[in-house]
Amino acid sequence: MGITHILNAAAPKKDLKFLLGMASEKDLLGTVNTGSRYYRGMNITYCGLPSFRHWANISKYFLPAAKFIHKALRNPMSKVLIHCTQGLSHSATLFLAYLMICHDMMVEEAIDHVIKVRCIKPYFGHLKHLAFLNADLVLQQKLKLQGKKTDKKMKKWQIKAK
């Protein structure tokens, strides 16, 4: 497959029980327990974002995920695998946010782009957060076109090219 980067959108939370190796099956429920140690020696760059419930605020992971994907794909030889427990909601939502932040797509455009190649089913709550992101990005673009400065809230969605 040639995968060079993995974004796990269902990583276990790194609490004390997990770090001491005492996590129970209940603690790992709804996670994909493949951390960076799992990929050691495979020449794969790993990013794990904690698993969260469908009603949780996924938007706090939009920028870290977008930065990870953006940095990886600066090399045209890179292949990024983005996964969660079912591959339909969390991972899809984070990829949609990446398309919106890094490729200036509107939420509808990003969804249309992805569903042409695979089935996705983002939770309603995740769609709501994508709609908020969309509104922020539209406002940011309007202010930019008007030559006005964006406030700190708007700047948080910018990824600096390195």
Query: Which residues are annotated as catalytic?
Result: 84
- CA neighbor of 130 nearest in space, from 53, 58, 54: 58
> What are 162's two structure tokens?
């390195």
Q: Which residues are bridge partners to 8 per DSSP?
A: 48, 83
Q: How far apart are CA 52 and CA 11, in angstroms?
A: 9
Phi-psi region of 21 (alpha: psi -120 to 50; beta: other; left: phi over 0): left
